[in-house]
């Protein structure tokens, strides 16, 4: 940080997982993505959207196309086989998605 010049900060949170179409064969979980920043590069200082796992997969592919030699962070596993409760799996995935966005 340079004295007298405010430091740019961006905070992103993955929160509030919700099961959509619960009980049907096409159920999925989406997550609230909340962003807060003081960066001049962003028009809106806060934004909030809901996204599902496959949209993170799409984002990672787009980043890989344009990253050159810069490594793109990994996503949490997609495994549908999980030992433990569904709630545990959803929470572990939420944490993994949060880490992906932070990196």
Reported as a single tens digit per residue, the pLDDT across 30-67 is 999 999 999 888 888 999 999 999 999 999 999 999 88
DSSP secondary-structure letter at 26?
Answer: T
6 three-state secondary structure? coil
Give 1's contacts (C-beta < 8 A, 6+ positions apart): 7
pLDDT tens for 17-35 read 999 988 888 888 999 999 9
Q: Provide the pLDDT for residue 98.
A: 95
Statement: 10-102 belongs to CATH 3.30.1520.10 = yes
pLDDT band at 85 (very low <50, low <70, confident <90, very high): low
Q: What is the pTM (predicted TM-score) of this model?
A: 0.81
pLDDT band per the 50, 70, 90 thresholds, residue 3: confident
């Amino acid at each position: 940080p340079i004295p007298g010049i405010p430091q740019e900060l961006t905070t992103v949170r993955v929160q509030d997982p919700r099961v959509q179409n619960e009980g049907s064969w096409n159920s999925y979980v989406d997550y609230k993505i909340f962003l807060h920043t003081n960066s001049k590069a962003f028009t809106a200082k806060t934004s909030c959207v809901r996204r599902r796992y496959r949209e993170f997969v799409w984002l990672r592919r787009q980043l890989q196309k344009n990253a050159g030699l810069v490594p793109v962070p990994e996503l949490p596993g997609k495994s549908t086989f999980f030992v433990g409760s569904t709630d545990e799996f959803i929470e572990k995935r939420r944490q993994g998605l949060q880490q992906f966005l932070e990196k």
